[in-house]
């Protein structure tokens, strides 16, 4: 059952479309409804965690920022508007979202923001100059999990920070909730990632080495840990250290996405988008008929809108410094 609070958020969501002069049925290279959801989510998360760059030292000395996987440019545009002395460069491999971000920068007269079509895995050093950025920012790129080899990516990005520059990487753990439907989805995602060898638990290696005794001992734990988590947030700091960053530090934020909170609606929308994006991927591990997926989806969304729904989402940011030459 959709509650009055959910309907209120839906009206706020649709009002964003009206403000941009578009109707929901109007065609666009960028999904306007998804764009409105991202805007709503961005501003509420920014308010909750205390800004665009909470915990980043020496903001007065940061002049050039590279935003990796910028999408429609929401964070980069906000940063450029908030800090007009910064030059912000956003890159994404999707030409449509880059065109959208470029148009938004022009309409907002943000001359300090520009956007380029680039794949994060193969940045062209003839276009993006190495050692030229004070800060390289990555956020929520785990949605591209299957397209990224993380150690290789970090080594590649290392060259774009100037000596003494910073790399900041933010990811979210799969939320913890009291929804059986959501927990089932989380288990399915974790299981599918494990099956495709995209789980980052160290015990995965033991499995491939055939350590049967340990596997049996941890059987109960594995059913939960393997199936529910991809284990990326606790890997961020070690990966940065291994790549060569120093003074690595962590900052964590806990977001309350329970019913009645300001982030609840955005969370429900986010889960809906994630479910649709992952349906093909999940189908490879859990073959079901289309009507079964539709039923599970409707059950999931209804469960998340219940007045008794409770959930927490944990964000982790790892910040590392490239050593001075």
Q: What is the pLDDT of residues 76-93, one digit of tens each?
A: 999 999 999 999 999 999
pLDDT > 90? residue 214: no
Mean pLDDT for all residues in the chain: 80
Given a contact cutoff of 8 angstroms between Cβ atoms, the answer to whether 312 and 254 are in contact is: yes
What would the mean pLDDT of 165-182 be, rounded to a whole number? Answer: 92
pLDDT value of residue 204: 47
pLDDT (tens digit per residue) in 189-200: 777 777 766 666
Conformational region of residue 50, where left means phi above 0, alpha means psi within -120 to 50, and beta covers everything else: left
The burial class, CB within 10 Å (0-12 / 13-18 / 19+), for 127 is: exposed
- For the segment 283-292, what is each residue's pLDDT rounded down to a tens digit? 777 777 777 7
Q: Range with the lowest mean pLDDT among 35-44, 155-164, 233-242?
A: 35-44
Question: Does the pLDDT value for residue 64 go beyond 50?
Answer: yes
Name which residue leads in pLDDT, 144 or 255. 255
Query: Look-up: residue for tokens 């008794």?
Result: 308
Residue 77 pLDDT: 95
- What is the CB-side half-sphere exposure of residue 193 using CA atoms within 13 A? 27
User: Would the CA dihedral through 286, 171, 89, 145 be positive or negative?
Assistant: negative
- The whole-number pLDDT of residue 220 equals 46
Structural domains of the chain sorted by starting position, each given as residue range(s) with its CATH number in brackets? 4-172+232-255+315-321 (3.40.50.150), 174-229+259-309 (no CATH)
The pair phi, psi for residue 151, each rounded to 5°, is: -60, -40
Q: Is the pLDDT of residue 26 over 90?
A: no
**Listed ranges 17-21, 23-27, 109-113; the one with the highest mean pLDDT:** 109-113
Q: Give the Cα separation of 191 and 198 in Å (integer).
A: 10
User: What's the CA gap between 100 and 95, in Å, rounded?
Assistant: 9
pLDDT value at position 10? 47
Between these two residues, 203 and 155, which has the higher pLDDT value? 155
Q: Where is pLDDT greater, at 281 or 31?
A: 281
3-state secondary structure the chain: CCCHHHHHHHHHHHHHHHHCCCCCCCCCCCCHHHHHHHHHHHHHHHHHHCCCCCCCCCHHHCCEEEEECCCCCHHHHHHHHHCCCCEEEEEECCHHHHHHHHHHHHHCCCCCEEEEECCHHHCCCCCCCCCCEEEEEEECHHHHHHHCCHHHHHHHHHCCEEEEEEEEEEEECCCEECCHHHHHHHHHHHHHHHHCCCCCCCHHHHHHHCCHHHHHHCHHHHHHHHHHCCCCHHHHHHHHHHHCCEEEEEEEEEEECCCCCCCHHHHHHHHHHHHHHHHHHHHHHCCCCHHHHHHHHHHHHHHHCCCCCCEEEEEEEEEEECCCC
Q: Tell whether the model's pLDDT for residue 7 goes beyond 50.
A: no
pLDDT of residue 198: 64
Residue with tokens 């007045």: 307
What pLDDT, on a 0 to 100 scale, did the predictor assign at position 164?
95
């Amino acid at each position: 059952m959709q509650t009055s609070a959910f309907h209120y958020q839906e009206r706020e969501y649709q009002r964003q479309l009206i403000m941009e002069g578009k109707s929901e049925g109007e065609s666009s290279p960028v999904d306007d409804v998804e764009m409105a959801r991202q805007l709503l989510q961005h501003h509420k998360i920014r308010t909750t965690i205390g800004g665009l760059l909470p915990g980043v030292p020496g903001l007065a000395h940061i002049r050039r920022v590279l935003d990796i996987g910028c999408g429609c440019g929401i964070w980069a545009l906000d940063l450029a508007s908030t800090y007009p002395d910064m030059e912000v460069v956003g890159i994404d491999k999707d030409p449509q979202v880059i065109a959208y971000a470029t148009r938004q920068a022009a309409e907002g007269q943000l001359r300090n923001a520009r956007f380029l079509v680039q794949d994060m895995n193969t940045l062209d050093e003839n276009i993006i100059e190495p050692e030229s950025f004070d800060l390289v920012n990555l956020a929520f790129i785990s949605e591209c999990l299957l397209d990224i080899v993380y150690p290789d990516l970090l080594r590649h990005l290392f060259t774009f920070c100037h000596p003494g520059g910073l790399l900041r990487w933010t990811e979210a753990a799969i939320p913890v909730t009291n929804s059986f439907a959501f927990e089932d989805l989380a288990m399915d995602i974790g299981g599918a990632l494990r099956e495709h060898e995209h789980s980052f638990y160290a015990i995965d290696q033991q499995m491939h080495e055939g350590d049967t005794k340990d596997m049996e001992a941890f059987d109960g734990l594995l059913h939960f840990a393997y199936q529910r988590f991809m284990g990326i947030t606790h890997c961020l700091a070690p990966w940065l250290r291994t790549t060569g960053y120093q003074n690595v530090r962590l900052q964590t934020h806990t977001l309350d996405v329970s019913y009645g909170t300001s982030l609840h609606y955005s969370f429900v929308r986010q889960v809906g988008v994630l479910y649709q994006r992952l349906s093909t991927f999940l189908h490879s591990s859990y073959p079901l008929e289309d009507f079964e997926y539709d039923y599970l989806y409707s059950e999931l969304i209804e469960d998340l809108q219940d007045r008794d729904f409770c959930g927490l989402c944990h964000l982790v940011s790892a910040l590392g410094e490239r050593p001075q030459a």
